[in-house]
Chains A and B, each alone.
Chain A
Amino acid sequence: MAEETESTKTEPLKTAEEEFKKLEITEEEESELKLETSDHVTFMVEASIAMKFGAVQQYLEVSPAASASATAIPLHNVASRELILILEYYRMHDWVDAGERDLKEFDERFLKDLNYEELKELLLAANYLNVEKLFNFLTKSIANIIRNKDVEFVRTFFGIDNDYTPEEEAAYREENAWAGVKFV
């Protein structure tokens, strides 16, 4: 009887071990990459997400050893603040269960939390990292700022000096009137 109980006990133990091994394997498959930002903060990022960054791909092409070894991949032009945001964006957009509506809401919130300066910083970081999806999203967001706005708004928003003479400006405004865009 005692032997029997022992054997029944060991069996679940074995399966648990196997499961643990399996887990390890899957974890190994979803390996992580070490990324170091410009302000020397190291991030452990899932390879599936990190490999979406063009800059990381390029780095690994040049030095393939980096993926296996513990050396961090340096991201010279990305600060930790931006990388957190980029990872947040990609984790959300990678999430399988995220519906179109969730993503839209997320995108709206994501934009809302950014001021113009942060938006520009993030755009530069996205450009450096070569992350197409986020980059396109941000450029579109900047373009959307201009929708339905007048010239004065665009000038003050982007901090641009008016170098037209009054006559030149009047001529362009006339053309504008034809195009049907109203000035406030």
Chain B
Amino acid sequence: MKKDFTLISIKFESFAIDEKILCDPFAFRSGISVIAFSYVLFFIYGKLWEMGVSSVLIPMELVDDGQESSNNDNEIEVTNSQLICGLPDDISLMCLARVPRKYHSVLKCVSKKWRDLICSEGWRSYRRKQKLDETWIYALCMDKLHETFCYVLDPTSRSYWKLIDGLPPHVSIRRGMGFETLGNKLFLLGGFGPCRDATDEVYSYNASLNCWVEAASMSSSRCNFACEVLDEKLYAIGGIVSNTSDHDNSWDTFDPLTNSWTSNSDPNIPKIPPDIEDSVVIDGKIYVRCGRYPTTPNDYGVVYEPSSGTWQYADADMVSGWNGPAVVVDGNLFVLDKNLGSRLMMWHKERREWMPVGKLSPLLTKSPCKLVAVGKSIFVVGKGLSTVVLDVSNFGTTVQVMMGFSLPRVACDFNVLSCKCFSLYDLLCPVLSYPKFTFFIIAHLALQSSLMMLQINHMPGDTLPNSQYALQAVDRAIELVENAR
């Protein structure tokens, strides 16, 4: 585990397995277009980078990519043998589809027939229909040497972030890339390389094959742009575009059904400056937050409505409070406000004001953070991929219990911050065999909106069984709480 990652962007992908990469429209298309940048543009860009203006953070709705089936009509080979002896294949499918995603690799090893089943369209559609598709979180991070890595986390197993290998080396040194998930694929778009030229290249990661392939190139070379998925289409908006004269007001859309990009531009729209800070999708509209540009005194945001294809200025009140990493849960915008400690704020659409949800210990969430939502849980992923999970499902009630888990970032000692009462519900049992695993128990206090945090380090070389270790952790936690009283 490399230390001191800066998290660039974080996405999640709804699982649907697809291994038929050979008939995949995204694969095996290449196009290289290298266009030099003007020095001035690059200077602004480099400055922005130094200031830590990283690329995008966009939550993605669980995308139903059922229409993709037309691309993957290869049926399972019909063989005489049954999947499970004594059961019709359709019933076997219903049984096997309930096996969690992390065991699918085991299923694939069993036999060719089982592998074909797991890679079939029937398997995907059944899992989606039965709401069995599991969501994994993907994070794009960068180390001190500006090398990019991609990590994955299975939120259900509560284990640890795993490195995804195989990112092409020339891509891993790029910066200002777009990062988005569409269907069961992860996309890395554009960016600029060490020669300071923006690129239009797109790489996609296939979750089931665990491999990166080059995908259809964007219409224009872009970096530091907003990247969103809306209505099964990928949008690359604004940023620094190098091959159009009117680079401020253009956006590209990618349709996976046709596997092609289309370029759009509109000189009459509100100006989308090159310094895009963040973007989200709320109620079928793309909101892009733009930073302070020399010509504008304040932050402002623009909204794109795909039905009419028009851009407008966003609600200024909303944009004013949107000053940190954001995520959308059930159509509500949540922002981690770093100005007054780490406060989680929610934009109340009817009242048109920002409401505080809860306060987080700044020790838990090391900046820069990115947010991603899976269901009603917000994952705050900070420096070193330290992860805190917040449950906002019963937002509005007085007591919230928030659970977090984290990977060690740096060797530092956390203390109990404040403590009034202790409510320990379901103790998480993560994979404690992981060396130096750090385990947090966080309780949101009902009376004061402060957080108590406990940390118990799992020392390398500990050979305690997991349950015993977890019990010890609880004992230690209670002891600490008693002492603090």
Contacts and interface: CB of A to CB of B under 8 A. Distances in A.
Contacts of B95: 123, 138-139, 142-143
B103 A147 contact: yes
B99 A155 contact: no
A160 B114 contact: yes
B85 A159 contact: yes
Given A124-B91, A140-B98, A151-B110, A158 B105 contact: no
B111 interface: yes
In this complex, the member of A138, A163, A164 whose beta carbon has the largest number of chain B beta carbons within 10 angstroms is A163
B280 to A, nearest CB: 31
Interface string A15-33: 0000000000000000000
Given A155-B110, A155-B111, A143 B99 contact: yes
Contacts of A181: 102-103, 105-106
Contact of A120 (B87, B112, B159): B87
A176 interface: yes
Interface in B105-154: 105-115
Contacts of B84: 120, 158, 160
A145 to B, nearest CB: 9
Contacts of A49: none
A162 interface: yes
B91 A127 contact: yes
Given A120-B86, A142-B95, A180 B111 contact: no
Given A143-B99, A158-B84, A158-B85, A179 B110 contact: no
A172 B108 contact: yes
A146 B108 contact: no
Contacts of A146: 96, 99, 103, 106-107
B31 interface: no
B266 interface: no
Nearest to B101: A179
Contacts of B104: 179
Interface string A155-184: 100111111100001001101101111000
Interface of B: 81, 84-88, 91, 94-100, 102-115, 159, 162, 165, 210
22 contacts: A120-B84, A120-B87, A123-B91, A123-B95, A124-B91, A127-B91, A142-B98, A146-B103, A146-B106, A146-B107, A149-B106, A151-B109, A154-B106, A154-B107, A155-B110, A160-B85, A162-B111, A164-B111, A173-B109, A175-B210, A176-B108, A179-B102
Given A160-B114, A180-B102, 16 more contacts: A123-B95, A138-B95, A139-B95, A140-B98, A146-B103, A147-B99, A154-B110, A159-B85, A160-B84, A162-B111, A164-B109, A175-B210, A178-B105, A179-B104, A179-B105, A181-B105
The 4 closest A-B pairs by CB, nearest first: A143-B98, A142-B95, A179-B105, A151-B109
